[in-house]
Amino acid sequence: MAPFVCPWWLGYFLISPLRRYAHDPGRIVGPHIGPGMTVVDFGCGMGHFSLPMATMVGPKGRVVCVDIQPKMLAGLARRAAKAGLTERLDLRVASPDGPGLAGLAGQVDFVLAFYVAHELPDSALLFTELASTLATHRCLLLAEPILHVRKGSFSDTVAAAERAGFMVVDRPTIRRSRAVLLTRSEI
């Protein structure tokens, strides 16, 4: 299947307060994030997860927010300023040449890749880069939409992550999603 990138204007729908009922950031990422951590929200859009993550990491932590669409990041920047969380965010534009994670080797405590891997032409490149950014024994939560990404395609995505040095440690239940929690072991 060819990659489908969510149009930037749908970002407003994705930050609807109603979405919290299906994808509550506290329930989904809260158990993996603590004060002072450096975390990545890859494919952050307008920040449904990014802003709650910024609250979770506290004033000494940081959230690296990566998206391929500058308009999504601009929307996130406006929302962060309104919430007083700008200082905790590091906004980065990904490109076809790389996922925008330069300078983070071994520094990241947690990565969220929520509903984004299917938008990439080569998820193997992403997982290789993510493996290099994560500190040893830290986690990547990968989730894909169940109605858009078939089981076999999701299995292929997980296999690409495993080839990059990840191993599955859990298969959390996330509404309307296929999800795995992966860890990077000592390689």
3-state secondary structure the chain: CCCCCCCHHHHHHHCCCCHHHHCCHHHHCHHHCCCCCEEEEECCCCCCCHHHHHHHHCCCCEEEEEECCHHHHHHHHHHHHHHCCHHHEEEEECECCECCCCCCCCCEEEEEEECCHHHCCCHHHHHHHHHHHEEEEEEEEEEEECCCCCHHHHHHHHHHHHHCCEEEEECCCCCCEEEEEEEECCC
Binned at pLDDT 50, 70 and 90, residue 2 comes out as very low
CB 179 within 8 A of CB 158: no
CB 86 within 8 A of CB 80: yes
> Do 86 and 114 reside in the same domain of the chain?
no
> Do 90 and 125 reside in the same domain of the chain?
no
Q: What is the pLDDT of residues 76-134, one digit of tens each?
A: 999 999 999 999 999 999 987 788 999 999 999 999 999 999 888 788 889 999 999 99
Q: Is 32 exposed, middle or buried (0-12, 13-18, 19+ CB in 10 A)?
A: buried
Domain boundary among 94, 120, 135: 94
CA 121 to chain centre: 17
> Do 84 and 114 reside in the same domain of the chain?
no
Q: Which two tokens stand for residue 146?
A: 């169940």
Q: What is the pTM of this model?
A: 0.92
Quote the number of domains for the chain.
Answer: 2
> Do 143 and 185 reside in the same domain of the chain?
yes
> Do 57 and 117 reside in the same domain of the chain?
no
Domain boundary among 94, 128, 156: 94
CB 141 within 8 A of CB 29: yes
Residue 96: predicted pLDDT: 75
> Do 164 and 116 reside in the same domain of the chain?
yes
Q: Which two tokens stand for residue 48?
A: 């449904």
- The CATH number of the domain holding residue 134 is 3.40.50.150
Neighbouring CB atoms inside 10 A of 79's CB total 18
Q: What is the pLDDT of residues 13-25, one digit of tens each?
A: 666 777 677 799 9
Domain span holding position 126: 106-187
> Do 110 and 75 reside in the same domain of the chain?
no
In a domain? residue 66: yes
Residue 78: predicted pLDDT: 97
> Do 137 and 182 reside in the same domain of the chain?
yes
